[in-house]
């Protein structure tokens, strides 16, 4: 058996994250290990953020992201904040540049402990999200749940934040919809060849909205950072809000700024829960009494 790797169980506004230290190793966290860790109530998670040695000059690390079902994710804003907090506590460094499947991410820990992540530029082309058929205007596409003449949900905005998102706009409480039932159907709808994150959004002011998300490969979550960014961008793009918003998810508020240079900056907290060691092949793990990645 390979040597055990260190991990920290963390969360970003309740978005459950495992930060796995895979630096100096040649192996990877397997899908089987991810599913085993998720099956244990103590280590149940939404995403694993596996920190590998840098593969690209100018970056500190390569980050591989796994969902709780073992599938690979392209982006995770809340998880990136957890990575930053863990690495900053270890090294004292405050500014980081990471490589991910979705591209280059930069992030910074501020003096107040909050962490900002630059998730890059949103993409709106139907082929970039991607969708399985052409829509010229992705501010609103033809997709609905329920009867044709009285749909429960309809006409979502779609956007890629490195991963695909569909945002359904609702006029009442986002918690009043049975997202646990609709979510898996919409996530796996044929219009989304790579599946999609499904969110319900309610605009509450020109600078605020509430959000609830069914996360692709993970299910209902207390927070999804890339979904908060996608919803904020879609709200501004459809004229519902300005470009600087407070997005309140079940776990709490996130500050989202869609800058004039088109980059989306998400700012929020991260929290450490406990540390341990695990087998990246099987997911077998043991708790440590103190310390972090």
Q: Which residues are catalytic?
A: 76, 224
Positive/negative CA dihedral, 20, 26, 28, 33:
negative
């Amino acid at each position: 058996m390979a040597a055990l790797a260190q991990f920290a169980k963390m969360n970003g506004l309740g978005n459950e994250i495992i930060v796995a230290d895979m630096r100096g190793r040649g192996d990877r966290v397997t899908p089987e290990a991810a599913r085993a860790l998720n099956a244990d109530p103590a280590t149940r998670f939404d995403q694993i953020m596996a920190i590998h040695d840098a593969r690209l000059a100018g970056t500190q690390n390569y980050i591989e992201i796994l969902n709780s079902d073992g599938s690979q994710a392209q982006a995770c804003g809340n998880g990136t904040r957890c990575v930053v907090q863990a690495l900053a506590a270890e090294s004292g460094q405050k500014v980081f540049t990471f490589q991910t499947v979705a591209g280059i991410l930069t992030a910074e820990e501020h003096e107040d402990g909050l962490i900002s992540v630059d998730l890059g530029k949103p993409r709106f082309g139907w082929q970039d999200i991607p969708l399985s058929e052409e829509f010229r205007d992705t501010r609103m596409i033809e997709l609905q749940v329920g009867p044709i003449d009285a749909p429960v949900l309809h006409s979502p905005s779609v956007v890629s934040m490195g991963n695909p998102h569909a945002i359904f706009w609702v006029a009442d409480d986002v918690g009043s919809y049975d997202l646990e039932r609709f979510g898996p159907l919409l996530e796996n709808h044929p219009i989304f060849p790579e599946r999609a994150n499904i969110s319900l959004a309610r605009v509450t002011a020109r600078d605020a909205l509430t959000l609830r998300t069914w996360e692709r490969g993970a299910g209902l979550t207390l927070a999804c950072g890339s979904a908060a960014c996608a919803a904020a961008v879609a709200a501004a793009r459809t004229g519902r809000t300005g470009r600087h918003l407070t997005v309140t998810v079940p776990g709490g508020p996130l500050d989202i700024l869609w800058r004039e240079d088109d980059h989306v900056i998400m700012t929020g907290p991260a929290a450490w829960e406990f540390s341990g060691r695990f087998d990246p092949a099987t997911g077998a793990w043991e708790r440590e009494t103190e310390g972090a990645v």
